[in-house]
Amino acid sequence: MTPLERYESLVDDPEAFRAACDRPLPSVVRVNTIKATVERVRAALDDEGIAHEPTDWHPGVLRLPEASPGRNWPHAHGWIHGQEEVSNLPALLLDPQPGDVVWDACAAPGSKTTQLAALMDDAGLLVGNDNNLGRLSALRHNAERLGVTNLVVTNRDARNFSLKPFGSDGDDPARIDAFDRVLVDAPCSCEGTIRKNPDAFDTWSLDHVHSVAGVQKGILRRAVQATRPGGVVVYSTCTFAPEENEAVLDYVLDAEDCRLVDVDAPLDGVPGVTEWAGEQFDPSVEKALRIYPHHNDTGGFFCAKVEVGG
């Protein structure tokens, strides 16, 4: 059984699902509102003769017919950033506000981190963390090109992330005791990226799915612990595996004081599954969102919104 066949029982149209996964992914860019408006970017693309059209769900997410959207001066100047269409969703669901204290727990290479900064109007504090030191260079490069100034970069295992370096154990009245919002775009088996990474299944194994699920549980649990009461955590992956999605939510709902809230998404999706491979999950995981490639002509994705108790 191939990875895609494994999930056919979860989709409404297996044939359309497989066909969409076999097609190349459309080229998409996000307008970086730290440096330019949507209108200014579209005028610049028109002047350069670069065809584009806004997606029907967000004016600042543009589809380009060319395969390399980074080969133009608006990209070089940080006005736009290549970012897969559905990848724009987690930061929008988190909805950070200017002045918030926000943690991106798995930040590199920085597409969602820099999007968070733009949504915050580059104000407040954004902590972009990744445990892979080599990938942090890409995060720093993207932040610099896109004009982000409210970002602090850290290199730690998110499962053991400490607030101490931010003054949480001192007497400074400006110290950080908790985050207002946290994004956990977790490392995963990347099944949903098959359209842009045709070799994604070459090294796929069920053992890896189970292994990475353990890491995801630790990261999401720490994210909930590090968020203030009433704060929000968005959990997302680019995989179809319930072991990495609903099972992770089920574990954290049982371990921490938090609850799932409805996801008001502008893209078509289906609810999370409450049963898989003989395992029952908390009924509230239905509030999560599964996005399949054939529903929006995007990659595959999973998103859930967690509200911390208190």
Q: Which of 2-16, 123-137, 153-167, 265-279 has the lowest mean pLDDT?
A: 153-167
CA distance 109 to 106: 9
Same domain, residue pair 198 and 70: no
Cα distances (angstroms) measured from residue 213 to each of 185, 237, 239, 272: 13, 11, 11, 16
Residue 256: CB atoms within 10 A of its CB come to: 19
- Say whether 238 is catalytic: yes
Q: How confident is the model at residue 198 (pLDDT cuts 50, 70, 90)?
A: confident
* Total domains in the fold of the chain: 2
CA distance 86 to 92: 11
Which among 259, 238, 262 has a CA at the least distance from the CA of 249? 259
Range 23-34 average pLDDT: 95
Choose between 207 and 67: higher pLDDT.
207
Same domain, residue pair 187 and 292: yes
Find the angle CA(152)-CA(33)-CA(132) to the nearest 5 degrees. Answer: 35
Domain finish residue from 35, 60, 83: 83
Query: Residue 81: helix, strand or coil by DSSP?
Result: strand
Q: Say whether pLDDT at 257 is over 80.
A: yes
Domain finish residue from 65, 83, 101: 83
Cα distances (angstroms) measured from residue 179 to each of 98, 100, 139, 223, 248: 14, 8, 21, 9, 21
Catalytic residue, from 21, 190, 238, 258: name it: 238
**What pLDDT does residue 65 have?**
80
Average pLDDT, the chain: 94
Domain finish residue from 41, 61, 83: 83
**What pLDDT does residue 174 have?**
58
Summarize pLDDT for 271-285 with one digit per residue, the tens. Answer: 999 999 999 999 999
**What pLDDT does residue 288 have?**
98
Q: What is the CATH number of the domain that holds 270?
A: 3.40.50.150
Range 63-80 average pLDDT: 86
**What pLDDT does residue 200 have?**
85
Same domain, residue pair 116 and 66: no
pTM (two decimals): 0.96
Same domain, residue pair 66 and 92: no
Same domain, residue pair 30 and 18: no
